[in-house]
Homo-oligomer: A and B are copies of this chain.
Amino acid sequence: MASDDDPVPDISGVALVDVLRAVADPIRLRIVQTLADGRPHAKCGTHWNFGVHKSTMTHHFRTLREAGLTRTTVTGRTHTIELRRAELETRFPGLIDALATGDAA
């Protein structure tokens, strides 16, 4: 069954500067932009076509989660990642929208 795994910080304890630092990386920014559709995404999906190693992606996913941006659900051997959109909107109004709208170039 699907069980919540990987502890996430309480949104009230998340500092804006930490969120910004988490997002201030090309790969992590694109992850957040992809996740901004509100739907959960599998970690192994083909969406993530960066040319980096498996463990590097693990590192980025963990950074995002520890910064309070995402939540991970483990189902069997597949991990699903999801943006904490509602919570983030409450704490940092307009931020995610601004990031998602952002032009890549």
Measured CB to CB, the residues of A under 8 A from B are 15-17, 20-21, 23-26, 29, 91-95, 97-99, 101-105
A contacts with B: majority SS: helix
The answer for the CA separation of A103 and B11 in the assembled complex, in Å, is 12
| This chain: copies in complex | 2
CA distance A19 to B65 in the complex (A): 22
Measured between C-beta atoms, what is the minimum distance from A42 to chain B in Å? 24
Nearest first, the 9 closest Cβ-Cβ pairs linking A and B are A16-B102, A24-B24, A21-B24, A95-B98, A20-B24, A94-B98, A94-B94, A98-B98, A17-B29
| Chain B residues in 8 Å Cβ range of A15 | 104-105
B17-A24 in contact (CB<8A): yes
